[in-house]
Amino acid sequence: MSTNKDLDEKHIAKKGDKPVISNNWQSLQRFTDARIALGRVANSLPTNAHLAFQLDHARARDAVHVPLDSVALQAQLLEQGLTVLPLHSQAVNRQMYLQRPDLGRQLAPESASQLKRWRAQHGCNKVSIVIADGLSANAVQNQAASLLALLSSGLSTLGLSYGPCAIVQQGRVAVADEVAELLGSRLLVMFIGERPGLSSPQSLGIYFTRAPRVGMSDESRNCISNIHARGLSCQHAIERLIWLIQMSEKLKISGVHLKDKSGEAQPLLNVTPEQKPRFQLT
């Protein structure tokens, strides 16, 4: 009859003089980035697992503090033929941004004046596009240009005018509402770096809002999150966003009332087959 000691000994892998007891679930690690089946050494983690945790924790902290290279990003967008407006929130630096979330939700007075002047000179566009560093500037640095190239193509196909592209440093989600309201836009698309996790320090999120205005609550927004190399691809994210935009234009809603069923055969609510979105990115 096997004892618990016999079963444990079957899972002991020797590393020098220190026994590492592996976990029966170890084969499941290939399906997830979550920390499962790490094994143990007595009552502690194996050294490799402990060091990997410390490394990922350091990467997550760096993601929060590394600044956005807005000049380089602006150059990428200009190469795509986009007009760019560099803006700033009322949080003057990273420390203030982290300690005063409310200031990250409001435009600096000079940035608000800049948008008013733009609207007076150029009029309104149907769609405002806003980029903010959020809590992971690297996510924005590495993916925003690719996402915008796909989005620009999709909006042009739908016949929706857009621009300029606003880059808000030290910005949070709600700051985009003020940008879009000042520009007089009907629709708002925001790209922002998401709060970094231990397995995804460079994750980007997209927020879509209809009739944006200062003071809106999160229930009015649709969110597409987890966009990064090992998560949702840029292509798939923009396909979902274009579907939401189409349905929003048909139903005049966004947020909790607009369910993302872009991956299903039938559209949401009581939309007839003739109204079913036909747009697909190729």
Pairing, β 162-169 against β 12-15: unpaired
Q: Which amino acid is at 135?
A: L
Q: How far is CA 158 from CA 140, 167, 215, 266, in A?
A: 25, 24, 29, 20
Q: Considering only CA atoms, which of 67, 242, 232 is closest in space to residue 143?
A: 232
Return the minimum-mean-pLDDT range out of 14-28, 72-86, 124-138, 252-266: 14-28
Q: Which amino acid is at 22?
A: S
Q: Which CATH class is domain 67-275?
A: alpha beta
In the numeric block, which tokens belong to residue 14? 């020797």
pLDDT digit string, tens, across residues 183-208? 999 999 999 999 888 778 889 999 99
Q: Which residues contact 30 (CB under 8 A, 6 or more apart)?
A: none
Q: What is the mean pLDDT of the chain?
A: 85
pLDDT digit string, tens, across residues 149-166? 999 999 999 999 998 999
- For the chain, residues classed under CATH 3.40.50.11240 are 67-275
